[in-house]
Amino acid sequence: MQGQTRAIVEQSLQALMKDPLFIPDLQDNIREQAFTSLAAILSTPNKIHKSFLRMPLENGQVVRIPAYRVHHNDALGPYKGGIRFHESVNEEEVINLAFLMTLKNSLHDVPFGGGKGGIVLNPRERTDKELNVISKKYVQYFADVLGPDKDIPAPDVGSGEREMDWMMAEYKSIKPGKPYRGSFTGKSVINGGSLGRREATGKGVYYTFRYMLHDFLLKQEDWLNKTDNPFAKTALSLAKRPLRISVQGFGNVGSVTALEAYQCQELHNKVVAVSDRNCTLYNPDGLDIPALISYTAVHQGDLPTTAEQLKKSGVKAEILNREEVLTIEADVLMLAALEDQVHKGNMAKVPARIIVEGANAPVTAEADAFFNNKGVIIIPDILANAGGVIVSYLEWLQGRETQFLSEEEVFSMLFNKMKQTLDTILPKFFGDPHPLRQNCYIHSVMKLSTVLYRQGKLY
């Protein structure tokens, strides 16, 4: 997984080195050396912090739980990235997620570096009290490397505003008298969080898709019709017609993305399938997404899994196994669960012509190459799912100023920021044969490399 990110960074550096406008001061041998130095700096984390948190369980047993905080790169600002609570967390995964954060922040001009954390546990198997203890322990063990100007964690899979509130409170008591509001983002609003943070990632994911297929496409239709770019053909073939959308994952990101797709006035969507860790729900006439959100809100986030539960939810659907969300007939597949979901073993059965990565790294390198060759557009994670970190940045700013924005202001700033990136990237993407992921990486690596060069890191 990390290899894929590293390979695309190297390809991006190779493309940049051929561009005479990229750091023109570097010539000949020095330019070649700079390539090797930049590849080394960008593809390795600055520091990996690992601890085994001592946790007393409620049954009296004491266990040690592996936990990580990875600092990938801070050339652009303090490290920033979520803390994942999941049983499959491992060092390689956290490094890759931190790497993606560095690239994402650079791409969207967010003044943060890249970091990520993880705790190896299944939160569903722990009591609230145990989760409270483990959250506090995480802050105690990593307190010296965290802080509003050092490293600012946020929620990720398995964690949410409750855990961020606990963690900020622990940070405050460990560092009395020090600024603490900006130490964690994704907090509850009453505890200094930002309005709109909960919905930010899912709204940003859908906005990115809609902007490409509606706003940008309508403005650029004549030009796109004249190019023979295969991705332009794909976009045009889907424009102005009803779209069947399937969404994998129905948590924070997936449920909001599905709701945005359901409510969208600009495109004629039908959300035909959604899935979670248990099952897929399918209805070719479209699912009632608000009813499913109401159901999950009172069932620990889970979709209905039996005919009886479906009846209770008031939703008409067929219950399929959880992988089927990927392969049922749909024009657009939005991935909002975990990594490596679309891979060599299932890629040939995925019918979608556009894949949107709400999750981080949900498409493997082999599948990525396969879809690129078929002209399928993949809207990559670092472009599509940056809404969370953008609004986290707004939360951090609001915490510093203790001046709070309205929800309307937050969403307007979020969409403006994403629009700025899209207006830079999309003309390049439809104008050359590189896939969208490569275009995003080139832009991101260009900024990071120039900053590293100017900070004297290539000597």
Catalytic residues: 116
The torsion of the CA quartet 322, 325, 329, 332, rounded to 10 degrees, works out to: 180
Residues between 2 and 21 with contacts to ligand NAD, criterion CB under 6 A: none
Using the minimum distance from each CB to ligand NAD, give the nearer residue, 163 or 170.
163
- Identify the CA nearest to 192 among candidates 167, 156, 219: 167
The torsion of the CA quartet 208, 209, 213, 217, rounded to 10 degrees, works out to: 20
Residues between 251 and 310 with contacts to ligand NAD, criterion CB under 6 A: 251-254, 275-277
Q: Which of 50, 175, 233, 322 binds ligand NAD (CB under 6 A)?
A: 322
Q: Which of 337, 354, 377, 405 binds ligand NAD (CB under 6 A)?
A: 337
193 binds ligand NAD per the rule CB under 6 A: no
Minimum Å gap between C-beta 78 and ligand NAD is: 18
Using the minimum distance from each CB to ligand NAD, give the nearer residue, 84 or 210.
84
156 binds ligand NAD per the rule CB under 6 A: yes
Q: What is the number of the residue whose Cβ is closest to ligand NAD?
A: 251
DSSP secondary structure letter of residue 214:
I
Measure the CA–CA gap between 333 and 200, rounded to whole angstroms: 19
248 binds ligand NAD per the rule CB under 6 A: yes
Q: Would you state the structure tokens that stand for residue 348, as one six-digit string?
A: 């040939």
Stretch that binds ligand NAD, among 155-163, 217-225, 345-353, 442-450 (CB under 6 A): 155-163
Using the minimum distance from each CB to ligand NAD, give the nearer residue, 269 or 360.
360
Q: Which of 272, 281, 347, 359 binds ligand NAD (CB under 6 A)?
A: 359
360 binds ligand NAD per the rule CB under 6 A: yes
Q: Which of 12, 246, 385, 398 binds ligand NAD (CB under 6 A)?
A: 385
Q: Which of 75, 101, 131, 338 binds ligand NAD (CB under 6 A)?
A: 338
Rg, Å, the chain Cα set: 22
Minimum Å gap between C-beta 434 and ligand NAD is: 24
Residue 315 neighbours by CB under 8 Å, 6+ apart? 281, 283, 287, 288, 291, 292, 295, 304
Burial of 419 (0-12, 13-18, 19+ CB in 10 A): middle
Using the minimum distance from each CB to ligand NAD, give the nearer residue, 331 or 381.
381
What is the helix (H) or strand (E) element at residue 48, kind and residue range?
strand 47-56
What string of DSSP letters covers 161-191?
HHHHHHHHHHHHHHSTTS--GGG--S--GGG
Q: N- to C-terminal Cα distance for the chain?
A: 30
Interface ranges with ligand NAD (CB under 6 A): 155-158, 201, 248-254, 275-277, 322, 336-338, 358-360, 385, 388
